[in-house]
Amino acid sequence: LDGCNRINDMVKHAAQMGMPALAMTDHGVMYGAVQFYDACMKHGVKPLIGCEVYVAQRGMLDKEAGKDNRPYHFTLLAKDREGYSNLCQLVSAGGLEGYYYKPRVDRAMLEKHSKGLVALSGCLRGEVNAALLDGNPKDARRRLGELRDIFRDDLYVELMDHGIEEQRVTNIELIKMARDMNMKLVATNDAHYMTRDDANIQDVLVCVQTGKLLSDTNRMKFFAPEFYIKSYEEMARSFGELPDALSNTLLVAEKIDLNMDYESVHLPVFPCPDGMTSEEYLRKLCRDGLIWRFNSDNPSQQIMDRMQVEMDVIVPKGFADYFLLVWDFINYARSQDIPVGPGRGSAAGSLVAFLLGITNINPLDHDLLFERFLNPERTELPDIDTDFCVERRGEVIQYVRNKFGRDKVAQIITFGRMKARAAIRDVARVLDVPLAKVDKVAKAVPEGPQVYLKDALDSPEFKRMMDEDPEVNNVVEMALRVEGMARNAGIHAAGVIVCSQPLAKLVPLQKMNGDEIVVQYDMNDSTKVGMVKMDFLGLRNLTVIKDCLKIIKEYRGIDVDVEHLEPFQDPGTYQLLSDADTNGVFQLESDGMKRYLKQLKPDKFSDIVAFLALYRPGPLQGGVVDDFIRRRHGRGGEVTYPHERLEPILKDTYGFFLYQEQVMLTANVLAGYTLAMADGLRKAMGKKKMDVMEKHRKIFTEGAVERGVDKKLAGDIFETMEKFAAYGFNKSHSAAYAVVSYQTAYLKANYRTEYMAALMTSVLSSIEKVSFFIKECNQSGIAVLPPDVNESRVGFSVSDKGIRWGMGAVRNVGVAAVEAIIESREKDGPFKDLSDLCHRIDLRLCNKRTLEGLIKAGGMDSFGENRATLLSAVDACADAGQRAAKEALSGQFGLFDDAGSTQASFADLCPKRLSEFPKRQLLEMEREMLGVYLSDSPLSEVRDTMKQHATHRIAMLNGLESGVQLSIAGLVSSSRKIITRFKTPMVFLQFEDETGTTEVTIRPATYDKCAALLQDGALLLVRGRTEIRQARRDADDDGADAPQEQVKVTAEEILCLQSLAAAKNGKAKLKLPGVHIRVQMFQSDFMPQLRDILLRHRGDQEVYLHLVSPQGETVMHLAETFNVRDTNELKSGVRRLLGQEAIWEEAS
């Protein structure tokens, strides 16, 4: 966000100013080079592609703090393709090898890659200017001479004037040096924004990036509003006495003649065995595939004809290597038992892909068209995307790296942009606009992926807010100017580039997320310069299927083959879908999906295919889904077809045009189109190319009339297809994904317990999702059991009693520790007690912290000892186990002992048995180790009170409007406190009940009344109102049905649930064993001192605070952290602080 130029607008502006050429030189990167080149070609401006590289003060591999963190700036421009290649290699070297705060190169690297480059001596941060500013003109001259030795006549002495005093000082010396050394001057101007008026926008963007307020005087700020594209006249005013410095800019531009290579495709040649060509090897694999798929090398004429049609397109176009490359890494994945999806996108329409095992759905069985994927008129490479198990996707990418070379394989960058609502919120934060006002404005912007701020300007409500409030108007005006700008960079979720030669010669590279090598051009720009892109997607559901099959094998001893479930006719699966029992079923688990599934009641595979294509914004908004369901059940009148010849094409969709393939087949059957021509029609309709569609209308109508179709009917059918284009979907993709939907539904319907175990293992990183699925298990009568060292595995597993929690899902327990426990258990049988466990496992892998975590989670309850006793014995048992291990290692034993007698029994090591912890403390331990309350919930003790006082359960919040008054009851799972700009405290609670979690905002006025209640684990009743805010989305959410916003709650009153229960039942009836402390309202200032007293007397007795105010008394149960030992010292401390009657003890 350092610069706020939009590339197209910047180039257009330069063209309007009559500039023949324009240079773009971002700091250390070349992100926008391709888009800049295209914009220049479009507007008739010569593109000067370059980079302001960072040059290390010493070597680029030197990375010493304090010495190497301030590199010099140095500007390079590519003269030709050789120069472009050298520039890419320099930028790549900086990003891959020289990165230290910045991507840096050094002199040696510059010398190695100097050919084809024009160099400018640099800005104030350049090494020549740096020497001058240090008062060392002799050193500056030496440095300039060394650079001239590298770049010779292509080095220019750069002058700038942005109204900065240091530039005026250095310019005098630079001019003198250039004259003395017979070097050419060139006058330039850094343009971080387009016009002088844009300076404030750039300032706002800098504040957004640095998290500062615009009003903050102590922040990064440009010196003067001079960093814009200046006209010749403006430059002449600064450098009029140096006409050669101005004219030399044209000299530099004339030197440059770079034509980007958009013709070459850098597809690797596949290494075929036995000297075969790519075509020969592909044909051999297809023949092998016929036998594999159909048990015959000539199964039917239809199949042989289809294979030949496809090969007649693939081979002449030179795509054989591409198919072999994809086949190879998918074949590797299958050979390593890495789950691979059945197909994705239009590639599922290829029989060749099916024969090779690239896809796993027969296109002939589902009327999928090859021409939707490839046809003779298509010039670009095929685009085959593949889903892999999310846990092992990286292994496949690593295989490709190893096969083709690490320097020829990289992932692709992607840029996060400032979207409409985010732009408003970011600008408003920088301008310090009140949050309530910002929320109201942001919410007035429509939702959706292709929604822009200009769409909101059509809203009367939005315009009224702008007209009535100058502050709002200012925010919106600025947001309009920053909307859509790149805000950050990340790695594309799936894109991988495989190249025939080292990538750095063709495109700039960098590292991200550690050591991942990434191309600096986005997906479209990479393809444009000839990169071969493939999508390796990680699909969590494939991992769930793999884990489920493994659990079924372990528990039931049977192998379930989900790869061969065709013809997809399992009654239980369709019953599950009809009941909308689809939590955890691929693509079918959203509330909206469930609602329509109950109405649709699918009973065949084509229903699932159609439903996945239907459930999207276009068909939903157009009412097509409702009409489809009515026809499906015969309630929409008789199913009719526009023409009798279309019945076979539209039968599965009850007369509706639903798939793009149906348009293609209609054009083929009715109007005589080839399928390749029909794909052109499909594209024209999808992209609404009106001129092309008019040509097709004529061709379609005439072709249909020639084949006996009434002219008016032909026109009507064309118009129907035209309307369809608003929601038509790729049937190949829908059919392939329907296979995964069916597989997951089949497993859930027939192996529910195993499936739920696999599902929970897959979402371990989201405690909210684990909790959700635990509740579903409970509702289904499946018990979720705590971990057990004698039964658990790494992930969730299945036993006769239910689903057993995985030890790997316990906090502080690593996979190595779990594997050590399992290995010992399987070798020598179950563990008898804690001492036995400590003597049998490697305690270097399973340390005391791990043992404590397992005990707290209930993982050793099967030993028959309570958790208090087990925790007290950890040190003794672990120490004994370590001693025994050392003795065994050294071969030394006691003088009269035999080899097995060093193991002390648990009774010997722990002769004293302790009383068990209170129930609430046990639950808190579970929550600490597992992330959830498993055996019970603290809310169980106040469940009746919750029902009495709460108006809504948290699961009911979604769908509510903003401003709804309500009461919710639950517990505080975590809290975050901030100090507002008015120096008042404000708190955000993560608040949960047994149905879900939400965020509760406690503003300063409310906080003052309830501060003492806001403890983690507190059981509270929150009265307040709903507030709608931007949702955070999980990384693995595809976003298809996810809400853009979430309903949260702003608290107006907070009460203690236990106090409400006590008030209802009478104090005598509610037993609260533990230490009780009474705090009067006027004593609230003493809370910090009371906290210190409690923490100094930690123990195992629970503490209850009685907060007394004019409204009554509130009892609050403090978190486990504040449990105490009831000693005389504790009582004396509390009484000195709060009075003689302030503390007492209640027995159970």
Q: Following DSSP, what letter does each residue of 742-759 receive, concatenated?
A: HHHHHHHHHSHHHHHHHH
Q: Would the pLDDT of 1033 be above 50?
A: no
Residue in the structure block whose two tokens are 């994809």: 326
pLDDT at 401 (0 to 100): 95
C-alpha to C-alpha distance for 334 and 396, rounded to whole angstroms: 10
Q: Would the pLDDT of 1002 be above 90?
A: yes
pLDDT at 541 (0 to 100): 96
pLDDT at 909 (0 to 100): 86
| CATH of span 419-484 | 1.10.10.1600
Judging by DSSP bridges, how do beta strands 1098-1101 and 1124-1124 pair with one another? antiparallel
The CATH class that applies to domain 937-1065 reads mainly beta
pLDDT at 635 (0 to 100): 85
* Per-residue tokens: 626: 């409702």
Q: Would the pLDDT of 660 be above 50?
A: yes
Q: Would the pLDDT of 647 be above 80?
A: yes
Higher-confidence position of 225 and 1144: 1144
Higher-confidence position of 802 and 906: 802
C-alpha to C-alpha distance for 136 and 140, rounded to whole angstroms: 6
Q: Kindly list the domain boundaries of the chain, sorted by start residue.
A: 7-194+226-255, 419-484, 563-745, 763-923, 937-1065, 1071-1148
Give the side-chain half-sphere CA count within 13 A for 995.
11
pLDDT at 1066 (0 to 100): 58
Do residues 183 and 155 touch, judged by C-beta distance below 8 A? Answer: yes
* Per-residue tokens: 53: 């590289």
- Read off the pLDDT of residues 843-872 as tens digits, 9 standing for 90 and up: 999 999 999 999 999 999 999 999 999 999
Q: Would the pLDDT of 999 be above 70?
A: yes
Q: What is the mean pLDDT of residues 59-68?
A: 91
Length of the chain: 1148
Considering 95-109, 437-451, 969-983, 1114-1128, the range whose residues carry the highest mean pLDDT is 95-109
Residue in the structure block whose two tokens are 């942009």: 417
Considering 410-414, 461-465, 620-624, the range whose residues carry the highest mean pLDDT is 410-414
- Read off the pLDDT of residues 869-899 as tens digits, 9 standing for 90 and up: 999 999 999 999 998 888 877 765 444 444 4
- Read off the pLDDT of residues 915-962 as tens digits, 9 standing for 90 and up: 888 888 899 899 889 988 888 888 888 888 998 889 998 988 877 888
Maximum pairwise Cα distance, the chain = 108
Q: Which long-range contacts (CB under 8 A, 24 or more apart) does 799-804 make?
A: 799/555, 802/753, 802/777, 803/753, 803/756, 803/757, 803/760, 803/777
pLDDT at 1027 (0 to 100): 86
Q: Would the pLDDT of 1 be above 70?
A: no
Task: Tell me the residue type at 1095.
Answer: L
pLDDT-above-70 percentage for the chain: 95
pLDDT at 767 (0 to 100): 77
Of the candidates 693, 650, 695, 688, the one whose C-alpha atom is nearest the C-alpha of residue 669 is 650
Residue in the structure block whose two tokens are 């941060």: 125
Q: Would the pLDDT of 1040 be above 50?
A: no
- Read off the pLDDT of residues 352-397 as tens digits, 9 standing for 90 and up: 999 999 999 999 999 999 999 998 888 788 889 999 999 999 999 9
Q: Would the pLDDT of 119 be above 80?
A: yes
**Per-residue pLDDT band at 1070 (split at 50, 70, 90):** low
Residue in the structure block whose two tokens are 């284009």: 725
Judging by DSSP bridges, how do beta strands 1019-1030 and 1045-1056 pair with one another? antiparallel
Specify the DSSP element, H or E, that contains 186: strand 185-187
pLDDT at 518 (0 to 100): 96
Higher-confidence position of 118 and 1096: 118
Of the listed ranges 132-141, 190-199, 1055-1064, the least confidently predicted one is 1055-1064
pLDDT at 1036 (0 to 100): 39
* Per-residue tokens: 1102: 């629970």
Point out which residues pair with 1021 in neighbouring strands.
969, 1055
pLDDT at 235 (0 to 100): 93
DSSP state of 273: G
**Per-residue pLDDT band at 1112 (split at 50, 70, 90):** low
| CATH of span 763-923 | 1.10.150
* Per-residue tokens: 47: 């593109």
Do residues 71 and 119 touch, judged by C-beta distance below 8 A? Answer: no
Residue in the structure block whose two tokens are 């004293």: 912
C-alpha to C-alpha distance for 460 and 468, rounded to whole angstroms: 12
- Angle at the Cα of 186 (from 182 to 190), degrees rounded to 5? 150
**Per-residue pLDDT band at 434 (split at 50, 70, 90):** confident
| CATH of span 7-194+226-255 | 3.20.20.140
Q: What is the mean pLDDT of residues 178-203?
A: 89
**Per-residue pLDDT band at 1148 (split at 50, 70, 90):** low
pLDDT at 516 (0 to 100): 92
pLDDT at 462 (0 to 100): 82
C-alpha to C-alpha distance for 221 and 202, rounded to whole angstroms: 10
Measured CA distances, 647 to 286, 634, 657, 662, 730 (Å): 33, 17, 11, 11, 19
Q: Would the pLDDT of 702 be above 80?
A: yes
pLDDT at 542 (0 to 100): 96
C-alpha to C-alpha distance for 43 and 50, rounded to whole angstroms: 19
Give the side-chain half-sphere CA count within 13 A for 697.
16
3-state SS, residue 55? strand
pLDDT-above-90 percentage for the chain: 60
Whether the ω angle into residue 446 lies within 30 degrees of 0, i.e. cis, is no
- Angle at the Cα of 495 (from 494 to 497), degrees rounded to 5? 145
Of the candidates 748, 378, 812, 250, the one whose C-alpha atom is nearest the C-alpha of residue 544 is 748
